[in-house]
Amino acid sequence: MSDEITQQEQNNFLMVFGGHILFQTLYAAVELELFDKLLECKELSLAQISELLGIQQQPARILLLGLVSTGILKRNEEGLYANTPVAEVFLTSRSPKNLLNYVKLQHHVMYRGMFHFLDSLKAYKNIGLKEIPGDEPTLYQRLGHDPKLKQIFQDAMHELSVHANADLAKNLDLSDVKFLVDVGGGDGTNAIELVRKFPNLNAAVFDLPAVSPIANKKIHESQLSDRISVIPGNCFEDDFPTNADCFLFCHFCTIWSAEKNKTLFNKAYKALPKNGKIIIFNMMQDSAETGPLTAAIGSPYFLSIATGEGMLYTWKEYETWLSESGFSDIKMIRLERDHGAIIGVKES
C-alpha cells in the first residue's frame, strides 16, 4: 500500500499534517524579520542569523530547518542561508506582493479560531469566534473592541486586496457609472483605486460604523474627500442609497450565507435605476467544486470564525443568484490569484 504513495504525495500530506507547526515557524520568522535581513545580506550563516535575530543557535537551527525543508529558504553547501523567490515575493517588506500583515492576521485570528473548527462544523456556527473578545455575532463587529487587532485586520485586508483591486480596476469599465457604492468597502482602497481610474466616477464606502474612521483617514490622505464619501451602516439593517448606479461587493459575499447574499442582491436590484450595475468581486471556487487551494483555505475561516455562515462560492452559484434577483447580461471576468468578477445589469 505504502509503495503506491510517491514522495511528493507524502510531502503534500505532511504539509497538511504538520501545517499548524509549519505555520508557527513561518510566523516566528516574520516577526523576527528574518526575510528582510536575508534580503539585505543575501546570504547568512547560522551564527550570523542567530546574532541578528537575538536568539541562540540551537533554536535558530530549529527555525531554519522548518523554513528550508518547506522551500521558503535555501541552504547551500557551505551552510549559508538565503531567501528563495517565494520568500522574496511574499515575505520581504520591500516586495509589493508581500503578505506579511496577512501572516500576522493568520496568527492572531485564524490560527486561534480554527482550533474550534470541528465544533463549528457540527454546530454550523462560528464557535472559533470565542477566541476574540466581545459578544457580537461576527468578527467584524468584535474587532471594534480591540483597536490593535482591528488595525492588523485592516492592514491584512489592504495587503490582500490592493493588488487584486488594482487588477479589478484594470479590467473593469466604469466609464458609464456616476456613483458607485462599495458595500463593505473597508478602508476605501477599492473606491480610491476606482475613482482615480475613472474621472467621472464618485463613490461611497458603505461599512460598519467602527470602520468609518479608518476609511475617512485613508480617503483624506488620498485627497479624494470631494469624490468619496463614507456611509456608516449595516447593509442588512440599513437602506441602500437610491442615488447609486452601481453597487460593488468586494471580498464581501464570501462572508455570508447563500440566503443573505440573495437578500443583498435583491436589495441592490431594488435600489438601482434601470441599466444600473452590480459587481461582485472576490476569490472564486471552481464550479466543479474541486478547488482551488485558496478556496479550500479561505472557506473554513468564514465558518469557524468570521460569521459562521460564508464560504468561497462557485462562479455558477453567483451567476444563478444574480439572474434569480433579476439581473441580466451577466458577464464573468477571470482574474489573477484565483479572483474573479461577475457583473450583472438591471435592464430597462
Ligand X SMILES: C[S@@+](CC[C@H](N)C(=O)[O-])C[C@H]1O[C@@H](n2cnc3c(N)ncnc32)[C@H](O)[C@@H]1O
Chain residues binding ligand X by CB under 6 A are: 140, 157, 161, 184-186, 189-190, 207-208, 211, 234-236, 250-252
The torsion region of residue 54 among left (phi > 0), alpha (psi -120 to 50) and beta comes to left
Rounded to an integer, what distance in angstroms lies between the CA atom of residue 164 and that of residue 22? 26
Dihedral sign from CA coordinates of 162, 168, 170, 174: negative
Cα torsion through 292, 293, 295, 298, rounded to 10? -170
Residue 41: C-alpha distances to residues 31, 67, 72, 80, 99 (Å): 18, 17, 16, 11, 21
d(CA 67, CA 75): 10
Between 124 and 236, whose beta carbon lies closer to ligand X? Answer: 236
CB of 288 to ligand X, least distance (A): 25
Which one, 64 or 250, has the nearer CB to ligand X? 250
Shortest spacing between CB 331 and ligand X, in angstroms: 20
Give the residue carrying C-alpha cell 457580537.
Answer: 136
CB of 35 to ligand X, least distance (A): 24
Task: Considering the complex, state which of residue 36 and residue 182 has its C-beta at the smaller distance from ligand X.
Answer: 182
Nearer to ligand X, 256 or 269 (CB): 256
Least Å distance, CB 236 to ligand X, is: 5
2 C-beta neighbours (distance < 10 Å), count: 5
CB atoms within 10 A of CB 122: 9
Closer Cβ to ligand X, 102 or 269, answer by number = 102
Beta strands in the chain (DSSP E): 73-75, 81-83, 179-183, 202-207, 228-232, 246-250, 277-283, 328-334, 339-345
Q: How far is the CB of 252 from ligand X (least distance, A)?
A: 6
Comparing CB distances to ligand X, the nearer of 131 and 167 is: 167
Shortest Å distance, C-beta 301 to ligand X: 10
